[in-house]
Amino acid sequence: MGTGQHRVAVVTGASSGIGAATARRLAAEGFEVVLTARRTERIEELAKEIESQGGAARAITLDVTDRAAVDAFAAALGRIDVLVNNAGGAFGAESVEQGDPADWLAMYQVNVLGVLHMTQALLPGLRQSGDGTVLILSSTAALAAYEGGGGYVAAKHAAHTIAATLRLELVGEPIRVIEIAPGMVKSEGFAVTRFRGDEAKAAAVYQGVSQPLTSEDIADTVAWAITRPSHVNIDLLVVRPRAQA
Ligand code: NDP
């Protein structure tokens, strides 16, 4: 349960991977973390874990692609200081020629419209904070194309331009806009979701990168960027494994 004494950070997609690691890390930094995702059991367990270690956490089930649900979440939230737009993913991983339009739509909905819904709904609260931060987890796929990246590359490029545009639109307001673009992260769910459990296909993409990043590597970066003095805006950080070209 929240105590009302902490700065409040909302993390989307906090049920696994980078989002879960970021939530743990921000709780350790003294934030009250609001854990959101569709898998209720996962975020409730994580909230309990954080509280058992002296942190403050709330778990609220939320699908970021559902605008009405996002609006209801925002209306009930109360204080917010940081929004970490982490929910996302790649589904299917095919060439442009072979990509399934249904996969493209699903990727657009979570990686682009999910960010839009959350950001629009929470900007009023972030303004009230007087020291707000919107953070977007994009990807190296947001900055360069790669073969087979297809719809994921397209969706993450859109997320990148949302971050850049929003930052310009908020110049002069007390809200920072930060983009973190990770390279390959061996997160809990990512390879499985992306390749629908096809280990051979996943291994082919991780080829040559014997040591991908961990979710904790990205959580560290997120925490560092957020905890800079409030007049310092870290626009964009690209974090990749040393072995990734
Ligand atoms: P995971 O698959 O482990 O985590 C994805 C998270 O997003 C889950 O918690 C999932 O929760 C949540 N999510 C998915 N769809 C929705 C939705 N509609 N509403 C709410 N939550 C949703 O992957 P990662 O931790 O690796 O990915 C986190 C972010 O980092 C993503 O944006 C991804 O694109 C990005 N990224 C990942 C990289 C990697 O190599 N792993 C590299 C670069 C960027 P639930 O299913 O419970 O809703």
pLDDT per position as a tens digit, 33-60: 999 999 999 999 999 999 999 999 999 9
Query: d(Cα 61, Cα 38) in Å, to the nearest integer?
Result: 5
At residue 199, the pLDDT reads 72
Q: Please give the pLDDT value at position 187.
A: 84
Report which ligand 1 atom has the smallest distance to the Cα of 14.
Answer: 9
How many Cβ atoms sit within 10 Å of the Cβ of residue 114? Answer: 26
Look at residue 211 and tell me whether its pLDDT is greater than 60: yes
What's the CATH architecture for 8-239? 3-Layer(aba) Sandwich (3.40)
**Which residues participate in catalysis according to the annotation?**
152
Q: What is the overall mean pLDDT for the chain?
A: 93
Query: Taking the CB of residue 76, how many other CB atoms lie within 10 A of it?
Result: 8
Measured in Å, residue 115 CA sits from the centre of ligand 1 at: 12
User: Please, which residues bridge with residue 34 across strands?
Assistant: 10, 58
**Distance separating alpha carbons of residues 10 and 118, to the nearest angstrom:** 10
C-alpha 82 chain-centroid distance: 12
Strands 82-85 and 132-137: parallel
What ipTM does this complex have? 0.99
Quick check: CB of 22 below 6 Å from ligand 1?
Answer: no
**What pLDDT sits at residue 11?**
99
- For the CA of 19, the closest atom of ligand 1 is 25
Q: Give the C-alpha separation, 201 to 187, whole Å.
A: 16
- Examine the pLDDT at 27 and tell me if it is beyond 90: yes
Dihedral pair phi/psi, residue 143, rounded to 5°: -120, -15
User: Quick one: what percent of the chain has pLDDT higher than 90?
Assistant: 82
**Helix or strand run (H / E) with residue 132:** strand 132-137
Q: 180-206: per-residue pLDDT in tens?
A: 999 999 887 666 667 777 777 777 767
Quick check: CB of 126 below 6 Å from ligand 1? Answer: no
Separation of 172 CA from ligand 1 center, angstroms? 31
Q: Is the CB of 180 under 6 A from ligand 1?
A: no
- The pLDDT of residue 2: 46
Ligand 1: centre distance to CA 238 (Å):
18
Whether 144 contacts 240, CB under 8 Å: no
Structure tokens at 152: 């994921």
The two most distant CA atoms of the chain are separated, in Å, by: 53
pLDDT category, 210, cuts 50, 70, 90?
confident
The string of pLDDT tens digits covering residues 71-121 is 999 999 999 999 999 999 998 878 999 999 999 999 999 999 999 999 999
CA distance 34 to 27: 10
- Domain ranges for the chain: 8-239
Chain segment 113-172, per-residue pLDDT in tens: 999 999 999 999 999 999 999 999 999 999 999 888 899 999 999 999 999 999 999 999
Residue 1 has pLDDT above 50, yes or no: no
193 lines ligand 1 (CB under 6 A): yes
- The pLDDT assigned to 155 comes to 97
> What integer pLDDT is reported at residue 226 of this predicted model?
98
Pairing mode of beta strands 8-12, 56-61: unpaired
- Alpha-helical (H) ranges within the chain are 17-28, 40-52, 67-77, 101-108, 114-129, 150-169, 190-194, 199-205, 215-226
151 is written with which tokens? 């719809």
pLDDT-derived band at 30 (thresholds 50, 70, 90) equals: very high
Q: For the CA atoms of 226, 213, 57, 119, what is the dihedral angle to 10 degrees?
A: 50
